[in-house]
Amino acid sequence: MMAHAAAFAEPWSVRHRLAQPVLRRAVALMDGTDGDPARFDALVLAVGRAHDRRAFKDLFDHFAPRVKGYLVRLGARNALAEDLAQEAMLAVWRKAALFDPDRASASTWIFTIARNLRIDSIRKELRPEIDPADPLLQPDGERAPDETVEWAKAEARLRLAIAELPREQSRIIELSFLAEKPHSLIASELGLPLGTVKSRIRLAMARLRLALGDGA
């Protein structure tokens, strides 16, 4: 615990401890025998220029399991590593237009995103901070008419995105977020293991973020 506290007291020491050795080995693997670096660069550029879903699927299928394994080697628990890997790949989708192949290869860029997410997760574990100004902590006030319209549009988009999910995922999302039922109760009602419920929620949320972000 003292070691964790010391790492937080010196933010760059966390980066130094996590960054270079494992990242270099992971990227060497990706850029060497485990794929074509130029192809990966082209795929990221295609996502950045045209939101090419096929290119993103190829990137996701190749990198997501490798990024998860990398995060596990950085000390993340399996479930956290899976969540961070999905978050990293969603960041690739959102930020692909910022990718510059002259500065780094696609694999270096993707693994760096994952590493920084792991660093952020460590910092949150060490010192979770509560912002009293966080809108989520503020009481709801009356919405202006234009805000009500925008809220209704956003809700409609969300419901449409949920309807496009696979049925086993949309059902769990409806029970969890719309009916506000706890995961344990959902597992009991559907006759599923609790771990399966949580896994389907994570997969569904990844799909929803992608669908809603693409429509923004």
22-52 pLDDT tens trace: 444 544 444 333 568 899 999 999 999 999 9
Q: 149, exposed or middle or buried, with CB in 10 Å at 0-12, 13-18, 19+?
A: exposed
- Rounded to an integer, the average pLDDT of 124-150 is 56
Between 66 and 23, name the one with better pLDDT: 66
Instruction: Find the DSSP H helices in 51-166.
Output: 53-73, 78-95, 106-126, 145-163
- Domains in the chain: ranges and CATH: 2-126 (1.10.1740.10), 145-214 (1.10.10.10)
Q: What is the pLDDT of residue 215?
A: 41
139-197 pLDDT tens trace: 555 555 555 566 566 667 777 777 888 888 888 888 877 677 888 888 888 888 888 88
Instruction: Give this prediction's pTM.
Output: 0.49
Q: How far is 137 from 166, CA to CA, in rounded Å?
A: 33
Check whether 129 has a pLDDT greater than 50. Answer: yes
Q: How far is 44 from 107, CA to CA, in rounded Å?
A: 10
Amino acid occupying residue 60 = F
Check whether 118 has a pLDDT greater than 50. Answer: yes
Short-list 155, 74, 78, 159, CA closest to 117 = 74
Q: What percent of the chain has pLDDT over 70?
A: 68
**Other residues' Cβ atoms within 10 Å of the Cβ of residue 212:** 14
Short-list 37, 39, 9, 19, CA closest to 117 = 19
